[in-house]
Structure 1
């Protein structure tokens, strides 16, 4: 990767400098670019150094619950682990080797690679909340709105979206089939 530490000269004396502020990728792409194990592998979280929990009945699932002993990943630690992994040929705390963006100035790996908004928030948290609000198995809970679906649907259909948004809002009855762009 070629870098220009003093900037690029353009049109005579003008110097252009830029910095990479954030990178957002889906989880498999993030693992590939960061050269580390995927989210479902041991030490696959790019924000902490926890091994993760793998339930016996779900072998492809791994999650990383916060505990008082959770250790956050730090840039220097990730760079050192990458050096060790490159030397030994074995992953160190999930890091398989060097990440190509570390050559850029001001990059802090855990801070630069931000949470994937669409998959983590919209298709994760928002769809979970929608399911809980609408699913009849929660009808005894105070947050349940499944008995007010007609009202919710009529209000959703009255929303006037800007013309640059191509998709029109769908009924909440169909929330299980919503794509990420219906959830914001």
Structure 2
């Protein structure tokens, strides 16, 4: 209802407004995400949230690359699935599928633990900046001075009492 009808409220001047609520993103860890999506866990068959890798163990590089998941296919898989028989890793429909503005594939974002703590950000940054990739479309090494300038312009909040030398941030990658 919040997405369709909205909620009525009055501002400080007693003017009535109606605000609708749209859920666009969901951040959850890799254990909670399949529970929210009603899908197999990351280490199960077709457990990748973003592609149709067969999975079931370590994710090795496949050639050709497995196709990316689409919301349309996810809905189809959910409708075909039963609690006893998952389809392409989807066990059954999720209540989140009822949210019109929420995309069941792109609405879930990588979370802090895997993006930062387990080194994914460092790995991607290394790929973008390592000169051995200079012929790739995604190579950003030629933009390093702009990146440095952007990092140097960041003013951390006063609560941050210790600041590493920002000039050396990229060296750690």
The TM-score normalised by the length of structure 2 is: 0.63
Matched, 1:82 2:81: no
- Residues 39 and 126 of structure 1: CA distance in aligned 2, closer, same or farther (over 3 Å): closer
2:118 maps to 1:124: yes
Residue number in structure 2 paired with 1:25: 28
Structure 2: which 5+ runs fail to align?
124-154, 165-171
Alpha-carbon distance between aligned partners in 2 of 1:127 and 1:34, rounded to the nearest angstrom: 24
Q: Which residue of 2 aligns with 1:114?
A: 109
Q: Deviations over 1:2-28 (max 9, x none)?
A: 554122222364110121121111001
Q: 1:70 aligns with which of 57, 66, 70?
A: 66
Displacement of 1:69:
3.7
Distance between the aligned counterparts of 2:47 and 2:60, measured in 1? Answer: 9
Give the gaps of 5 or more residues in structure 1.
Answer: 55-61, 130-159, 171-182
Q: Structure 1 residue runs of 4+, over 4 Å off?
A: 126-129
Contact 1:45 1:64 in 2 (8 A): no
Please report how far the alpha carbon of residue 53 of structure 1 lies from its aligned counterpart in structure 2 after TM superposition: 6.2
Which structure: greater helix fraction? 1
Q: Would you say the 8 A contact 2:2–2:21 is kept in 1?
A: no
Aligned pairs, number? 131
- Indicate if the aligned counterparts of 1:51 and 1:64 stay in contact, CA closer than 8 A: no
Say if 1:165 and 1:102 are closer, same or farther in 2 by CA, change over 3 A. farther
